[in-house]
Amino acid sequence: MRFAIYIRTIKTARGAGHVSANVAKGLVEKGHIVDFLVEDREGQLIDELASFSGNLHVINLREGPQSALLNGAFRAWAVISNVLSIPSCLFGIGDSATSPVVRIMWKEKPPILSLVQYIKRDNPDAILSFLNYPNMVLLLTAQLCRKKTRFVVNIRNTISVAAANADSARVRSVPRLMKRLFRLADAVVAPSAGAGQDVARITGLPGERITVIYNPVFRPEILRLAREAVDHPWLDDGSVPVILGVGKMKPQKDFQTLLRAFAGVRARRPARLILLGEGPDRGPLGELAGELGIETDVDFPGYVRNPFPYYARASLFVLSSIWEGLPNVLIEAMACGCPVVSTDCPSGPDEILQGGAFGKLVPMGAVDAMATAILETLETPPPRDRMVARARHYSYDDSIAAYETLMIGVGQPSSPGSVAGC
């Protein structure tokens, strides 16, 4: 069959971008043709996908001759179709979702014409979108060219919490857009039961319309990648335990709490902290480490292409997030045998750690509780093979099989299933 995956960019090569690329590869390995639709062709993952197989095609929706007038006409058509799609909100009067739709069309100028042309030309059996913007654009496009194509949207976070914590009006409007547009989707994917339940509360969709498919995290090459050399002196010095944090340095990840908790740990025993990643909070986090007097024991190596040797050699991994969908980094750490401590944030950590059976869960923003959990885990770490065994539950093969079933539209994925069944 012919499938398409639509995501705006995979330039960062992490998170949703990494998941979307793995799904594309997995579907090709199962014998399907996959068109990978993007609006930005930059990044190492794009290069990997372009050379992966003759059945995987990277298509930039913003390339080629573009008529500004025709593109504008299609965007206007999408807005009008959206407004007229609910009779009770004729012309958008009193409809809180109409303004965000217009804002997306005016400011973002999504490539709706290119999407329509692609669907009419290549006639894919299903299109799977990742993240909020592509989800909304895909469903607005679906109103214009309904054919045999299945339209599947993929939520990556606990949206109600993300919207409540957002500074951006666009992000705050996402729940309203979901309630308005998600009824047009043939299927909705969530990465965890908690995220799926959040979608059901926002949209009012029945649980059987929302399918939980875990991220394709655990794959055989992780074990090989974990054995590669790592250029960091702290990881060669077994005398001092190294704590690891990984993620984009932004408010969602709450690395401030991790730094403060580490200061409490450091006051009681020798330890070091490595934070991998880049982001807008990088400067303030360095300043906070200085204010706490721990700057000599904290390192910020930035983004690393292969984090798995860091997981494998660290004494402990800590997730400090305020919200997630299903945190890949937590599973990746466990796949490398690394003990973990995590905030009990919505959604994912409680499911992954089975209520604390595989790692300590602490309240969000709780500095003292996190410091205590870190100290206790360093003192009595769980067996590393137990961490690996739990991570195998989030296998690449199971995830790809579930995506294939959902894209084909026959039956339901076998694991873990619809929100109603979780």
One domain for residues 154 and 232: no
Q: What is the pLDDT of residue 168?
A: 84
One domain for residues 135 and 116: yes
Closest alpha carbon to 205 in 422, 55, 420 = 420
Question: How many CB atoms sit inside 10 A of residue 366's CB?
Answer: 16
For 99-125, what is each residue's pLDDT tens digit? 788 888 888 889 999 999 999 999 999
Q: What is the pLDDT of residue 301?
A: 96
- Spatial distance between the Cα atoms of 271 and 369, rounded to a whole number of angstroms: 17
One domain for residues 73 and 111: yes
Q: What is the pLDDT of residue 89?
A: 41
Say whether 73 sits in a helix, a strand or coil.
helix
**DSSP letter, residue 104:** I
- Whether the bond between 347 and the residue before it is cis, its omega within 30 degrees of 0, is yes
One domain for residues 404 and 387: no
Q: What is the pLDDT of residue 93?
A: 42
One domain for residues 194 and 50: yes
One domain for residues 185 and 282: no
CATH number where 67 lies = 3.40.50.2000
For 250-290, what is each residue's pLDDT tens digit? 999 999 999 999 999 999 999 999 999 999 999 999 999 99
One domain for residues 385 and 244: yes
One domain for residues 401 and 322: no
Q: What is the pLDDT of residue 92?
A: 41
Q: What is the pLDDT of residue 406?
A: 96
Residues in the chain: 422
One domain for residues 69 and 187: yes
Residues in Cβ contact with 407 at an 8 Å cutoff, skipping those fewer than 6 apart: 1, 3, 27, 125, 126, 128, 150, 152
One domain for residues 183 and 238: no
One domain for residues 114 and 149: yes
Count of domains for the chain: 2
One domain for residues 98 and 236: no
Say whether 188 sits in a helix, a strand or coil.
strand
pLDDT profile of the chain (422 residues), mean per 10: 96 88 97 97 92 97 82 82 57 58 84 93 96 94 84 96 90 91 94 96 93 94 93 90 97 98 98 97 97 98 94 98 97 98 97 98 98 98 96 96 92 61 36
Give the pTM.
Answer: 0.90
Q: Which domain holds residue 58?
A: 2-216+396-421
